[in-house]
Amino acid sequence: MKRLVCVLAVMLGYAAPAFACPDFNIQAAEAYQATGGQLRQPRTFNVVAGGENYIWNCPSIQPGTDQGAGYFTSQPDFSFVLSNMRGLRLVVSAVSECDSALLINTSSANWYYDDDDNGNLDPRIVLTRPVDGRIDVWMGTYDGQYCGAQLRMETFAQ
C-alpha cells in the first residue's frame, strides 16, 4: 500500500500544472525613457494585447486596484524608465479591438490592474504620485484572446 501511495504521489507531482506569471525580471519586448515633461504630450505605442497566463493563478501578483480577470504574457510588453515625475499624475490607458486589460508593476514594486475604466471595455490606470524609475507594462485581455491595441501614456499636473 505504501508503494502505491508513493507512486501516486510522484505521478500527481509530475502532473500538477506549472503556472507561468508576468515577471518584471524578464526584459521587456520594448524599452523607452521619458521625462514627465515629455509625457505632457501623449505618447502611443502599438501592441498585441493578450497572453497565456491567467493573472489569479499568480500569487506573487497582488494588485492594489481592480480584481478582474485577465490573461497576460510573462514578458512585459513595455518598460519605461521615467524621470522628473514629481508633481504629476501618470495616466496609462489603452484602446483595443477586444476586451483588453492592463497590468503595471512600478519601481516601488506595486502592482496595478484594470479592465474597463477607459470605457468601451478598455483599461485605464492613473498613478497619482508616480516616482522616478522603471515601470513595466503588460497589455493583456480579459478572456485570453489576442487583439490589436494601442497603449497611451500621458502626464497631468496634480
For residue 98, the one-letter residue type is C
Residue 19 — very low, low, confident or very high, per pLDDT cuts 50/70/90?
low
Q: Which residue has the cell 504629476?
A: 88
Domains in the chain, start-ordered, CATH in brackets?
36-157 (2.60.120.380)
User: Quick one: pLDDT at residue 101?
Assistant: 96
Containing 14, the helix (H) or strand (E) segment is: helix 2-15
Q: What is the pTM of this model?
A: 0.86
Q: What is the pLDDT of residues 118-158, one digit of tens each?
A: 999 999 999 999 999 999 999 999 999 999 999 999 999 99
Can you give the three-state secondary structure of 31-99, one letter per residue?
EEEEECCHHHCCEEEEEEECCCEEHHHCCCCCCCCCCCCCEECCCCCEEEEEECCCCEEEEEEEEECCC
